[in-house]
Chain A
Amino acid sequence: SQQGEEDPQALSIQEGENATMNCSYKTSINNLQWYRQNSGRGLVHLILIRSNEREKHSGRLRVTLDTSKKSSSLLITASRAADTASYFCAASGGSNYKLTFGKGTLLTVNP
């Protein structure tokens, strides 16, 4: 499967600091996506990076993709307490829009 695995499992930082989360996957992909989940809620799509892209930005988010290492990273700059959530990577390798999610990184931003 294209399963994503996030690292670290949990991350605690102070407001204003940057947060970096990593993801590894096993097989070739069409794209890799990052999602956010607040406690007890549904997931919200953050950003998608295609297999032929190496870096993508969206506001305070920066995603990189290294297909040779089968890894991706999500950087959140100038973190805020409201960024506290779980973050999941999801790999897509087929044409039927199926995604395979990792177990997530729990980010805690302390005010």
Chain B
Amino acid sequence: SQTIHQWPATLVQPVGSPLSLECTVEGTSNPNLYWYRQAAGRGLQLLFYSVGIGQISSEVPQNLSASRPQDRQFILSSKKLLLSDSGFYLCAWSGTPGSYEQYFGPGTRLTVT
């Protein structure tokens, strides 16, 4: 069966510090991968998605970036965090043939102080 992992679960970082959030998927090959951000009490904002290694599409211009160094690994990064980067970051995968459903990881709670 497929599983998706995210770490860390929580993170408190000062303004201006770098960021690296990691997401890995097990039990599937060539998944589509997604990074979302959810502000408190709000819906999900799609940040990046990837349909293959090295292929990244950005949905919202910002100081975040994403990379996919391996088929089942997706990394969200920032060189310098802003206060507005605080939120709940969710990774998801999809791609079971013929299926549009997305499967989410447990999320990372990021607080920028």
Contact residues of A between 8 and 47, Cβ < 8 Å to B: 30-31, 33, 40-45
Residue count of chain A within 8 Å CB distance of chain B: 22
Contact residues of A between 93 and 109, Cβ < 8 Å to B: 96-104
Q: Is the CB of A40 within 8 A of B107?
A: yes
Instruction: Give the shortest distance, in Å, between B63 (CB) and chain A (any CB).
Output: 22
Q: Is the CB of B100 within 8 A of A101?
A: no
- Enumerate 5 A-B pairs (CB-CB under 8 Å) in ascending A order: A90-B102, A96-B49, A97-B94, A100-B46, A102-B43
Contact residues of B between 1 and 60, Cβ < 8 Å to A: 32, 36, 42-44, 46, 49, 51
Which residues of B are in contact with A by a Cβ distance under 8 Å? 32, 36, 42-44, 46, 49, 51, 88, 90, 92, 94-95, 100-107, 109
Residue in A closest to B104 when the chains form the complex, CB atoms: A42
Instruction: Give the shortest distance, in Å, between B111 (CB) and chain A (any CB).
Output: 13
A-B contact count (CB 8 A): 53
Q: Is the CB of A41 within 8 A of B106?
A: yes
Question: Bound complex: CA of A42 vs CA of B34, how far in Å?
Answer: 13
Question: Bound complex: CA of A41 vs CA of B100, how far in Å?
Answer: 21
Question: Bound complex: CA of A42 vs CA of B93, how far in Å?
Answer: 12
Q: Is the CB of B46 within 8 A of A33?
A: no
Question: Bound complex: CA of A88 vs CA of B51, how far in Å?
Answer: 24
A72 located at the interface, meaning its Cβ lies under 8 Å from any Cβ of chain B in the complex:
no
A92 located at the interface, meaning its Cβ lies under 8 Å from any Cβ of chain B in the complex:
yes
A61 located at the interface, meaning its Cβ lies under 8 Å from any Cβ of chain B in the complex:
no
Instruction: Take A43-B104, A44-B104, A48-B100 as given contacts and tell me if A101 and B94 are in contact as well, using a CB distance cutoff of 8 Å.
Output: no
Question: Bound complex: CA of A111 vs CA of B95, how far in Å?
Answer: 38
Q: Is the CB of B43 within 8 A of A41?
A: no
> Which B residues are CB-close (under 8 A) to A103?
42-43
> Which B residues are CB-close (under 8 A) to A101?
36, 43-44, 46
